[in-house]
Structure 1
């Protein structure tokens, strides 16, 4: 695999009542993984013009809970790319926290974002897309 030029994707979203999965309006960790999947799709499109297929996660660590009304910001960064695979680093941070304990519509912007989840993923790219990609690699791993 080679190190590509910077390819990144970012999304910020509010988690609503429909995202609650557990008591106490706790959001299920699978939602964060779904967001990572969307970011991997964008990385695939940006790097070779195809969505690809997110085939695996590794090193996932969930480090803080997320609740309804919180805002998270998730990022993905292409770390390495081979002809058919992209290694992507993911991070998700809570940037705004609901404060329903104060009043029903209260929230606060966090002075320091709180890491919610971090990990890596492998995106598999179809051969047909990589052959046409302006970012494709030669057999030596160098760009043409």
Structure 2
């Protein structure tokens, strides 16, 4: 099972000089994807327990469109192991004009992660 969201990073997401977005924003997106996966799997939002690995691979800037995708890779009694990938799919082009953007021919992977969520047995509805 997979889930995907696409979000544009705004100026409110920029945390560092040059309109650089904090890497923690990608983890927030992964949390939203995990919540959807748990609802689809178990009928409950569950809880994110831990990340096994997180790799930041490319910078994200205000104005970038980010696609965050996740999938459940292993199902235990109450645990759900998941893998995630965030990709930059559209970038702003201020060098052309203030409203120009390009759709990237090849998305740029900006972050990947593996994590575990839990849905207590008594809350599982599926």
Q: TM class by shorter-chain length?
A: over 0.9
Which residue of 82, 89, 92 corresponds with 1:88?
82
Larger radius of gyration: 1
Match of 2:14? 20
Which residue of 68, 73, 96 corresponds with 2:62?
68
CA deviations 1:97-118 (Å, max 9, x no partner) are 1112322112111010000001
Match of 1:113? 107
Match of 1:99? 93
- 2:40 is equivalent to residue 46 of structure 1: yes
Q: Aligned pairs, how many?
A: 126
Paired with 2:14 and 2:73, the residues of 1 have a C-alpha distance of 32
Match of 1:8? 2
Give structure 2 stretches of 5+ with no counterpart: none
Paired with 2:64 and 2:78, the residues of 1 have a C-alpha distance of 36
Q: Which runs of 4+ in 1 moved over 3 A?
A: none
Give structure 1 stretches of 5+ with no counterpart: 1-6, 135-144
TM-score by length of 1: 0.84
TM-score by length of 2: 0.96
